Amino acid sequence: MRTRFLLATCLLTLPLVAQKAHPGAHAAAQPKTVVNWDGEWSRLAAKGDDLDQRIGDQVKDMNFALRFYWKKKLESACKAYDHLDILAGDSFSVALGKEPPIDTPADGTVVDWKNRDGDAFKASLTQDGPTLIQTLRGDGYTLQYVYSMRPDGKTLALEVTYTHPKLDSAFSYKLVFKRIESD
């Protein structure tokens, strides 16, 4: 009796195991999503964070001298860019506002870049599907830009994080951009 029960159980579960053994047929049916990063983007101010408010919240509990110092540091490093240009291929060229484009390969290779004020940075970029992660390492601080394409392909969110060894906690804010449609 026990043998029949085990045999029946094995025969009933065999088709399920066989289906799981061949995931290729199911995986081939799902197309891979291609993200089109190319284009000009305009900031949707109402959808993102108020940068001045976020900076104020970051420094509000500091003493007067530190509050003044960090407010100036954050205001000079963190910008609410109104415009964004992206050219994608084997490498990416990203221009934030009026800054010179940051040309980086998408494999994380570090390149030298200078902003319009002449400040030097080590820049890198990696891509993971609908997300680009761009890192700028400057004089004592790091800016990380995480670009996340929305499913509609017409909007993207940019999460900016500023870290500095002497700042108690990282500072971050979000900007949202809409693709400018060309005629």
Q: Is residue 21 part of a domain?
A: no
The 10 Å Cβ neighbour count of residue 120 is 11
Write down the pTM of the prediction. 0.80
Q: Is residue 23 part of a domain?
A: no
DSSP state of 20: H
Q: Is residue 18 part of a domain?
A: no
pLDDT at 182 (0 to 100): 75
Q: What value does the mean pLDDT take over residues 44-59? A: 96
| 90 — pLDDT class (breaks 50, 70, 90) | confident
Q: Is residue 119 part of a domain?
A: yes
Q: Is residue 34 part of a domain?
A: no
Q: Which residues contact 136 (CB under 8 A, 6 or more apart)?
A: 102, 113, 121, 122, 123, 142, 143, 144, 145
Q: Is residue 63 part of a domain?
A: yes
Q: Is residue 53 part of a domain?
A: yes
Q: Is residue 47 part of a domain?
A: yes
Instruction: Give me the CATH number covering residue 84.
Output: 2.40.128.20
Taking CA atoms, 122 is separated from 43, 48, 113, 157, 159, in Å, by 26, 27, 6, 23, 19
Instruction: Give the range of the structural domain holding residue 167, as residue numbers without chain letter.
Output: 39-179
| 35 — pLDDT class (breaks 50, 70, 90) | confident
Range from 8-17, 80-89, 90-99, 139-148 carrying the lowest mean pLDDT: 8-17
Q: What value does the mean pLDDT take over residues 92-100? A: 95
Q: Are 162 and 77 in contact (CB under 8 A)?
A: yes
> Domain total for the chain?
1
